[in-house]
Amino acid sequence: MKIGALALQGDFREHLAMIRSLGVEGIEVRTEEELDRIDGLIIPGGESTAIGRLAAIYGLIEPLRDKINDGLPVLGTCAGMIFLASATLRHEQPQLEVLDVVVERNAFGRQIDSFEAAMAVAGFDDPVHAVFIRAPWIHKVGADVDVLASVEDLESGELRPVFVRQGRILATSFHPELTADTRIHEMLMEVS
């Protein structure tokens, strides 16, 4: 098995270190040829506008979309979640539109509102230590999307999904790659 991390910008090295710690080969993906060689993909944290724009000018949007729609397993964290989503509230930017959710960017506020906290996840015995950095949340989920974890929007009192699964697509608002917890990466291995 070979897992690729989209290496246009962001913390792809941390994801690859985590993949390799699980004894799986991890490679950087910047081209369509590299995309053809992998069994699973990670779209890292970073700036979603920068990642989207680089993917667009280097002709990666269509190949990525086709591969994921054909069943390539994928995990997107933070910017990766935004890039996978079908739309973004109040922003127009290049997106893959493969995950049936509308995301809200910087949903918790600016950097001073970034935080870490223990969070329960459906199907996990112990909570994950979730690190949210200028993080998005999901504003609206489609019918085929399972919500695995949510946070409470303190303004509206509504629950906002921060970890979802749609078939072989996994997406988190937070950064498991910044912790030592490999459970979410192992979920990607299981479907790859």
Partner 1 sequence: MNTSSSERGTDLVKRGLAEMLKGGVIMDVVNVEQARIAEAAGAVAVMALERVPADIRAHGGVARMADPSIVEQIVDAVSIPVMAKSRIGHFVEAQVLESLGVDYIDESEVLTPVDDNHIDKWNFTVPFVCGAKDLGEALRRIGEGAAMIRTKGEPGTGNVVEAVKHMRMMNKQIRRLTVLDENELMAAAKELRAPYMLVKEVAETGDLPVVNFAAGGIATPSDAALMMQLGCDGVFVGSGIFKSGDPAVRARAIVEATTFYKDASKIAKVSRNLGEAMVGINVDTLAPEDRMQDRGL
Chain residues that interact with partner 1, rule: CB under 8 A: 7-14, 30, 45-47, 49-50, 53-54, 57, 78-79, 91, 105-106, 108, 110-117, 119-120, 131-134, 149-152, 154, 175, 178
Fill in the amino acid letter for 51: I
Nearer to partner 1, 99 or 137 (CB): 137
User: Identity (one letter) of the amino acid at 152?
Assistant: E
For residue 89 the two structure tokens come to: 């509230």
Q: Which residues are catalytic?
A: 78, 175, 177
> Shortest gap between Cβ of 71 and partner 1 (angstroms)?
28
d(CA 133, CA 136): 9
Rank residues 9 and 192 by Cβ distance to partner 1 and give the closer one: 9
Amino acid sitting at position 97: E
Contact criterion met (CB below 8 Å) for 151 and 137: yes
Q: Is 132 helix (H, G, I), strand (E, B) or coil?
A: strand
Rounded to a whole number of angstroms, the minimum distance from the CB of residue 53 to partner 1 is: 4
Angle in degrees, 0-180, between the axes of helices 48-57 and 61-69, rounded to the nearest 10: 100
- CB nearer to partner 1: give 73 or 84: 84
User: Quick check: 69 and 99 in contact, CB under 8 A?
Assistant: no
- Report angle CA 20, 131, 34 to the nearest 5 degrees: 35
Residue closer to partner 1 (CB basis): 14 or 100: 14
CB of 191 to partner 1, least distance (A): 25
Closer to partner 1 at the Cβ: 79 or 138? 79
The 3-state DSSP class for residue 40 equals strand
Cβ 39 to partner 1 shortest distance, Å: 24
176 and 184 Cβ atoms separated by less than 8 Å: yes
Q: How far is the CB of 69 from partner 1 (least distance, A)?
A: 25
